[in-house]
């Protein structure tokens, strides 16, 4: 690994165990420097943070074999013993929260408080998973046959593949890994090629915790380019579950390939999230939520607010206030606590945003504020507010950038129709002080999204609930509630403790 870093960054990487000396061994089960070299770029400066080598040769086979062997042993550990290892992992993450949060901020350009928040989310997920390790409940049923006992139980599934996006480079691993670990699975993580350093750091922390517990190497990681390693995992029958987070384009490819081999896919894909603001809303609350949802993380969250539906009575006032707020957003160095918006991830993200803006205008959209790149180093853009109408096809797509479309409506029915008219179905929100409006939005005839909020924005879910969305968002659910079930296999067991062999449904079969 070649490091061309200032002292502070070097210290951060060293604390996380990433330095020249151990460059090849970060995935624990392998050491390979013969592959392709890629660079991790700081999007705030455009400069290289470090170069890493993608594994070459037979590394893939070694990692899958090692992960399969680790699973054979790990599944024999009791779930609470597995939970204890996860508890210790949380302790390590607490110790290194500052350094890891800083590295997230450096590598993907999130403002520091969001980088730290992401590590906190890992810790929260771990804490939740520790509790789950004693609550992997199955049901018991009353058998229709006398002297029979019937119940279901949940077994570990196997080595699972985890493919993650750049924008939550460590939290999404934790959503999967913490739960998969207590469920008894081993895993192979293919992080985004845009965020290799955070993945190395997390894997090294995990390795240390496993080693301290004489646990098998369940946390494996395989760096890869844009597609190759992910495609190989997707087609690999030894990985019964592929959990993939990223664009709808990627999810379609992954979903089809996994279905082709009768594997299980957990898909967490793009969103096109809207906030509905009613005339009766608390506009101060709504304004703050819209600003965070649309501008926070530079619009690079799956739950970012991309569409704003304003009821006619407050539309003009709300837009004016929003434009004023946009004008005061501090854009710049993500490590400066006063900064609210950092850069986009890379030049191609900037180009995509600019291309979308050309298209928006050609479809009749009007840019109210923003719309330009910011001169200087790094990949900075202005957050952009657009007056749009529901007939513009571009508004049905996810542009992964801080573009917010505004629409006006008269009735809630009309708003819900526009709201649900896009192909994605991740997160949604309504701002209203009217109970009937709120309940209508949350009803079966309301929002069609996986997440529906009242007087809370679309962005920033808590880990206790199941997270995910419908339609082209993929249908997967991760994190809390009963999401753990996808990481396990269900077995229905019937035990006959009598002396007869009655058949179900009263079938007679006597010789
Ligand atoms: P991306 O689709 O470009 O890449 C995501 C991951 O998939 C990367 O690791 C990539 O290498 C891998 N990949 C790409 N093509 C593949 C293929 N054919 N087979 C296997 N793997 C493949 O996404 P991105 O630009 O890194 O992230 C942004 C996207 O992720 C946005 O669409 C965002 O909405 C989505 N996202 C969704 C959630 C969610 O929970 N719903 C969370 C975070 C991000």
Residue 1 scores a pLDDT above 70 = no
* Residue 31 exposed, middle or buried by CB count within 10 Å (0-12, 13-18, 19+): middle
Please report whether residue 499 resides in a domain.
Answer: no
Does 455 share its domain with 395? yes
Residue 22 scores a pLDDT above 50 = no
pLDDT of residue 20: 53
Distance CA 403, CA 305 (A): 9
Q: Which of 90, 183, 302, 449 is catalytic?
A: 302
Q: What is the pTM of this model?
A: 0.96
- Give SS3 for 47: strand
Phi-psi domain of 510 (left: phi exceeds 0; alpha: psi -120 through 50; beta: other)? beta
Atom of ligand 1 nearest to the CA of 398: 32
Does 255 share its domain with 349? no
Residue 32 scores a pLDDT above 80 = no
Does 10 share its domain with 101? yes
Check pocket membership of 227 for ligand 1, CB cut-off 6 A: yes
Query: How close is the Cα of 310 to the center of ligand 1, in Å?
Result: 31
pLDDT class of 6 with cuts at 50, 70, 90? low
pLDDT tens track for 137-189:
999 999 999 999 999 999 999 999 999 999 999 999 999 999 999 999 999 99
pLDDT of residue 108: 98
- Which tops the pLDDT comparison, 117 or 25? 117
Check pocket membership of 42 for ligand 1, CB cut-off 6 A: no
Check pocket membership of 418 for ligand 1, CB cut-off 6 A: no
Check pocket membership of 167 for ligand 1, CB cut-off 6 A: yes
Check pocket membership of 233 for ligand 1, CB cut-off 6 A: no
Query: How close is the Cα of 240 to the center of ligand 1, in Å?
Result: 20
The torsion defined by the Cα of 239, 240, 241 and 246, in degrees rounded to 10, comes to: 50
pLDDT class of 11 with cuts at 50, 70, 90? confident
Please report whether residue 236 resides in a domain.
Answer: yes
Residue 465 scores a pLDDT above 60 = yes
pLDDT class of 293 with cuts at 50, 70, 90? very high
Name residue 79's beta-bridge partners.
none
- Residue of 134, 132, 136 lying closest to 124 (CA atoms): 132
Does 153 share its domain with 193? yes
Please report whether residue 171 resides in a domain.
Answer: yes
Check pocket membership of 245 for ligand 1, CB cut-off 6 A: yes
pLDDT of residue 50: 87
Does 88 share its domain with 224? yes
pLDDT of residue 5: 53
Catalytic residue check, 302: yes
Residue 10 scores a pLDDT above 80 = no
Atom of ligand 1 nearest to the CA of 304: 34
Residue 39 scores a pLDDT above 80 = yes
Alpha-carbon radius of gyration of the chain = 24
Check pocket membership of 269 for ligand 1, CB cut-off 6 A: yes
In sequence order, the 6+-apart residues with CB closer than 8 A to the CB of 164 are 172, 173, 189, 190, 191, 192, 245, 246
Q: What average pLDDT does the chain have? A: 94
Residue 34 scores a pLDDT above 60 = no
Residue 25 scores a pLDDT above 50 = no
The mean pLDDT value for 125-130 works out to 98
Domain count, the chain: 2
- How far out from the chain centre does Cα 302 lie? 8
pLDDT of residue 225: 87
Atom of ligand 1 nearest to the CA of 166: 26
Please report whether residue 506 resides in a domain.
Answer: no
CATH of the domain at 199: 3.40.605.10
Does 279 share its domain with 359? yes
Does 234 share its domain with 284? no
430 close to 477: Cβ distance less than 8 angstroms? no
pLDDT of residue 16: 86
Residue 31 scores a pLDDT above 80 = no
Check pocket membership of 254 for ligand 1, CB cut-off 6 A: yes
Residue 286 scores a pLDDT above 90 = yes
Distance CA 271, CA 475 (A): 12
Lateral strand order in the sheet of 488-496: 140-141, 148-156, 488-496
Does 295 share its domain with 425? yes
Question: Which residue's CA lies nearest to atom 19 of ligand 1?
Answer: 231
pLDDT class of 26 with cuts at 50, 70, 90? very low
Atom of ligand 1 nearest to the CA of 233: 20
Helix axes 196-212, 79-95, angle to 10 degrees: 130
Please report whether residue 497 resides in a domain.
Answer: no
- Which tops the pLDDT comparison, 422 or 15? 422
- List the structure tokens of 57: 């040769």
Please report whether residue 510 resides in a domain.
Answer: no
Does 362 share its domain with 450? yes
Please report whether residue 479 resides in a domain.
Answer: yes
pLDDT of residue 33: 47
Name residue 451's beta-bridge partners.
427
Please report whether residue 14 resides in a domain.
Answer: yes
Does 262 share its domain with 284? no
Does 433 share its domain with 307? yes
Residue 4 scores a pLDDT above 50 = no
pLDDT of residue 473: 98
Q: Which of 268, 398, 408, 478 is catalytic?
A: 268
Domain with 484, as residue range(s), is: 2-269+474-490
Atom of ligand 1 nearest to the CA of 193: 11
pLDDT of residue 386: 98
Q: DSSP secondary structure string, 108-166?
A: H---HHHHHHHHHHHHHHHHHHHHHTT-----EE--SSTTEEEEEEEEE--EEEEE--S
CATH of the domain at 351: 3.40.309.10
Catalytic residue check, 39: no
Check pocket membership of 400 for ligand 1, CB cut-off 6 A: yes
Does 58 share its domain with 31? yes
Query: How close is the Cα of 247 to the center of ligand 1, in Å?
Result: 4
- Residue of 356, 275, 339, 349 lying closest to 310 (CA atoms): 275
Question: Above pLDDT 90, what percent of the chain?
Answer: 88
Query: How close is the Cα of 246 to the center of ligand 1, in Å?
Result: 2
Question: Above pLDDT 70, what percent of the chain?
Answer: 95
Helix axes 97-108, 112-132, angle to 10 degrees: 120
């Amino acid at each position: 690994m070649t490091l061309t870093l200032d002292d502070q960054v070097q210290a951060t990487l060293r604390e996380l165990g990433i330095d020249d000396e151990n460059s090849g061994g970060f995935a624990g089960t392998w050491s390979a420097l013969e592959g392709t070299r890629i660079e991790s770029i700081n999007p705030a400066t455009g400069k290289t943070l470090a170069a890493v080598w993608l594994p070459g040769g037979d590394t893939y086979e070694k990692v899958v074999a090692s992960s399969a062997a680790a699973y054979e042993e790990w599944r024999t550990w009791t779930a609470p013993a597995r939970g204890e290892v996860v508890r210790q992992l949380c302790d390590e993450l607490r110790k290194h929260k500052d350094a890891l949060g800083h590295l997230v901020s450096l590598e993907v350009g999130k403002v520091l408080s969001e980088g730290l928040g992401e590590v906190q989310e890992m810790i929260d997920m771990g804490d939740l998973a520790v509790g789950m390790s004693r609550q992997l409940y199955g049901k018991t049923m009353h058998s229709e046959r006398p002297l029979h006992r019937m119940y279901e139980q949940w077994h570990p599934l196997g080595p699972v593949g985890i493919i993650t996006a750049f924008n939550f480079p460590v939290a999404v691993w934790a959503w999967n890994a913490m739960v998969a670990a207590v469920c008894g699975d081993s895993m192979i993580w293919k992080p985004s090629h845009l965020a290799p350093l955070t993945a190395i750091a997390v894997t090294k922390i995990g390795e240390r915790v496993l080693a301290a517990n004489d646990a098998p190497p369940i946390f494996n990681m395989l760096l890869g380019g844009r597609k190759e390693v992910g495609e190989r995992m997707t087609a690999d029958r030894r990985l019964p579950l592929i959990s993939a987070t990223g664009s709808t384009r990627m999810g379609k490819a992954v979903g089809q390939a996994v279905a082709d081999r009768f594997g299980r896919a957990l898909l967490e894909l793009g969103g096109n999230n809207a906030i509905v603001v009613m005339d009766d809303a608390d506009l101060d609350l709504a304004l703050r939520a819209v600003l965070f949802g649309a501008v926070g993380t530079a619009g690079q969250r799956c739950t970012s607010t991309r569409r704003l539906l304003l009821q006619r009575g407050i539309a003009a006032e709300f837009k004016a206030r929003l434009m004023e707020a946009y004008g005061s957003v501090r854009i710049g160095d993500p490590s400066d606590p006063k900064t609210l918006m950092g850069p986009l991830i890379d030049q191609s993200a900037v180009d995509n945003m600019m291309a979308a803006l050309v298209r928006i205008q050609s479809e009749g959209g009007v840019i109210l504020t923003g719309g330009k790149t910011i001169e200087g180093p790094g990949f900075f853009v202005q957050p952009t507010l657009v007056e749009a109408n529901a007939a513009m096809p571009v508004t049905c797509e996810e542009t992964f950038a801080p573009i917010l479309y505004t629409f006006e409506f008269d009735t809630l029915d009309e708003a819900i129709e526009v709201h649900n008219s896009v192909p994605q179905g991740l997160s949604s929100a309504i701002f209203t002080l009217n109970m009937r409006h709120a309940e209508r939005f949350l009803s079966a005839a309301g929002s069609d999204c996986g997440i529906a909020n009242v007087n809370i924005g679309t962005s920033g879910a808590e880990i206790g609930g199941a997270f995910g969305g419908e339609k082209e968002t993929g249908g997967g659910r991760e994190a809390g509630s009963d999401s753990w079930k996808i990481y396990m296999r269900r077995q229905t067991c019937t035990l006959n403790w009598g002396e007869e062999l009655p058949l179900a449904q009263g079938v007679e079969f006597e010789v």
